[in-house]
Amino acid sequence: MLIFTFLGLIGRLFYIMHIKSPVYKAKALDQWTNDYEIPARRGRILDRNGMEIAVSMNAYRVDLDMVTLRESLINKKMTMEQLAAKLSTILNTSTDKLSDTLNRTTSNGIPIKFAILARGIDKPQVDKIKELNIRGIIISSDSKRYYPNNNFLAGVLGYVNLEGKGVSGVELNYDKELSGTPGRTTYEADRNSTQLPYGNSDYKAPVNGKDVVLTIDENIQSIAEKAAQKALTDNKAKSVTITVMDPKTGEILAMVNKPDFDPNHPIKDSKGNAVKSVDDAVKNIAVQSAFEPGSIFKVITAYAAMKENVANENSSFYCNGSVKVDKHPINCWDLNGHGAESFVDIIKNSCNVGFVQLGLQLGKGRLGYYVSLFGFGQKTGIDLPGESIGIVKNPEKLTNVDLATLAFGQGLSVTAVQYLAAFNSVANGGTWIRPHIMKQITHSDGNNNPVVDKTFTDLGKKSILDSNTAATLRTYLEKVVSLPTGVGHNAFIDGYHIAGKTGTAQKANPKGGGYESDKYFSSFAGMAPADDPKITLLVSVDEPDPSNYYGSQVSAPVAKDLFSQIFNYMIMKGQLSLDKPAN
């Protein structure tokens, strides 16, 4: 009996020490080894002049060693739910959400050993957590994303989530460059998670994220922000979008969507009120939403007519207020009609009847070709997420009525960046250039000097227009603004040589079947100086007060204010010289 008992003990020891040794050794190492990720500091987002628009500030994170925490709560005779209730008031998080984290298990139902409780919290919160005096709660350094100017450029910047990952805008599109590479620390610890002085340890330092320098000019952006907010309020509009670009480089100098949100608190709008939908609040309308352009599209039809020799300065038209196409009446915006007109007149007067005639003369094949040539129905490839492609009908399926209305910008939808890319090709003499928001990606060397890692070069340049025809068209568009009878005269500034086009489009009924009678989309597209444009812009006002909704009344005055202030700024910086300086 003794021999058999002894042999049994020997066999059991052999099984434990040799057969099961790797399993027990792994469990032991897992118990006394702590392994933590060290987050990298997220890179900054700067404007073209080096102004900080998004930065990362020092903060704290709270992690949980669940094994030690459970033991500590048993000793304190406290439940997970009671702890969740205490932490809820400190972290401003629901008790249920914290309770889910504290009681989380693996897919096999085994309680987890490690959890992230909170990131990016402030010192006062950390101090209150320390006062609980509960072992297993690990506090370490972290960073918190901060936007110094609150809702400034919010739609473009986007925001980051609690894990420090970009969710929308630049933060999402350049998340990889901004995030950097996290580090890691591994060390042996006692039962209280205190590092053993002579235990094995390993440390890998994090590599901080790089800085993203935008094409945005903080001063021009500020001008556009104020103008958009004023237009939103004055016109009791649903939304206002303003985009300002350099037509020769494709650089976006300003991009504004109002109303907007505060990326420091993305669940709230710029006034601090809770938003109904975060996705809607953070949407960059200029990139992600398409609209019927209305009369600003006449720029494209006019170029096509000129290039195809369908019309020139000697061409004549007559408008009596409406025209019938296949027995379908199409009205001009001026129901009294414009009478006898030249080609320049129908552009200056924004005459629908004249452009219906141009569309029918061009035919669906030729007009469809220029719609595609200018890039409509195609993504620009702008370096911002969620770009809409817009809607363009197959030219072969167009009826005569479709063709007639397409000529004055009805029956298709475009995005603001899509339209400006096309408009820029007229402004710069014929070259399509991809709109973009990133100028450079940089990092600092050991002496804190900036080092350029990447410059935006994916411009996709292609010559699409005849330079002489584009130059002639610019002179016609200048008359739209400069002549007292031009529909864009409310954007006129003496000496500035502004060329542009107004647009007023009825909004399509979202339930289908025609257009809504009292909802409009009012726009103004402009460039200046007309002979050699340095600036292009698009002002769009969605659903202005229906008592005053024409683009000439709503958007052109906004453009006038923008050109005046932007050119004052550019003159001050020595970037521009005009015939007559601003007052």
> What kind and span of H or E run contains 537?
strand 535-542
The dihedrals phi and psi of 337, each to the nearest 5 degrees, come to 85, 160
**If you count them, how many residues does the chain have?**
583
Alpha-carbon torsion (174, 178, 181, 185), positive or negative: negative
CB atoms within 10 A of CB 370: 20
Q: Which residues contact 151 (CB under 8 A, 6 or more apart)?
A: 260, 261, 262, 263, 270
The distance from CA 307 to its chain's CA centroid, rounded to whole angstroms, is 35
Pairing verdict, β 183-188 and 33-38? antiparallel
CA distance 458 to 439: 11
Cα–Cα distance, 256 to 258 (Å, whole number): 7
Judging by beta carbons within 10 Å of its beta carbon (0-12, 13-18, 19+), is residue 363 exposed, middle or buried? middle
The helix/strand/coil state of 298 is: helix
Contact between 296 and 355 (Cβ < 8 Å):
no
Q: Which two tokens stand for residue 439?
A: 């100028």
Q: How far apart are CA 543 and CA 240, in angstroms?
A: 9
Query: In whole angstroms, what separates CA 193 from the centre of its chain?
Result: 44
CA distance 465 to 423: 11
Q: How many helices (H) and strands (E) does the chain have?
A: 20, 21
Q: Where are the strands (E) in 458-579, listed by range?
A: 462-463, 499-508, 515-528, 535-542
d(Cα 203, Cα 182) in Å, to the nearest integer? 11
CB 303 within 8 A of CB 469: yes
Burial string for 557-577 (b: 16+ CB within 10 Å, else e) reads: bbbbbbbbbbbebbeeeeebe
Which two structure tokens, joined as six digits, stand for 303?
Answer: 């170029």
Q: For residue 295, indicate whether it is catalytic.
A: yes
CB 67 within 8 A of CB 113: yes
What is the 3 state secondary structure string of 359-385? HHHHHHHHHHHHHHHCCCCCCCCCCCC
Supply 37's token pair.
């990720």
Amino acid at position 281, single letter: A
CA pair distance 475, 220, nearest whole angstrom: 26
State the residue for tokens 């009292």. Answer: 518
Closest CA to 357 of 306, 408, 292: 408
Q: Which of 239, 295, 522, 555 is catalytic?
A: 295
Catalytic residue IDs: 295
